[in-house]
Chains A and B, each alone.
Chain A
């Protein structure tokens, strides 16, 4: 079985400050991890993914995420937040390497609010 936890319903940060949106996961084998962003009344947009290789993954709009196997975490980060980053962020996981379900499991989402 696979699962994702996003422990924070909402994250507030001032514009220009660094931001972190937390995600922890559970899978039986090697994880494939994804971050998506959703703006109001829109579909989800892909931000970045971790499959293998470097633990620090860089994605769209200046976002990055760090894969930490020992802590089973994949936190989303950005060095300097923008007001336009305010949106709903979803972490997703699926078991990679041909094992398990190829359907990813999504976290419940974290609302990021960046204050001017």
Chain B
């Protein structure tokens, strides 16, 4: 199946610094990628839809100035958590939509990035 690589897997940073997380589709092109946030033992919360070559679409309640998304190419989307604070600590997961032959557009997920803000 399609492979999505997410980096870094773990990151610890000081409060007030910015952290960038990369999401790459390794063997397919993804015009659309998604960024999720997951709290412990909870479901995925869709943060934003990343569109190649255009602005990301943010879900209600997600601060676009806080969570900067850039989708500069068909294989790379980045999420930058700006001026991180302890409440931003979470597990962030990206996914990319692959156009399957059946048109289902199933999602393939990265391995996730655990962010801890001290």
Contact = CB atoms under 8 A, between A and B. Distances in A.
Interface of A: 32, 34, 36, 41-46, 49, 51-52, 88, 90, 92, 94, 96, 102-104, 106-109, 111
B63 interface: no
Nearest to A34: B106
Nearest to B98: A46
A107 B45 CA distance: 10
Contacts of B46: 103
Contacts of B91: 41
Contact of A51 (B43, B104, B111): B104
Nearest to B1: A46
Contacts of B110: 43
B42 A43 contact: no
Contacts of A88: 41
Contact of B105 (A102, A106, A108): A102
Could you say which of B42, B103, B114 has the most chain A C-beta atoms within 10 Å of its C-beta?
B103
Interface string B85-108: 000000101010100001111111
Given A43-B6, A46-B107, A106-B43, 11 more contacts: A36-B109, A42-B111, A43-B93, A43-B110, A44-B44, A44-B107, A46-B108, A51-B103, A88-B41, A92-B107, A103-B46
Given A102-B97, A106-B43, A108-B42, A43 B104 contact: no
A41 B1 CA distance: 21
A116 B34 CA distance: 37
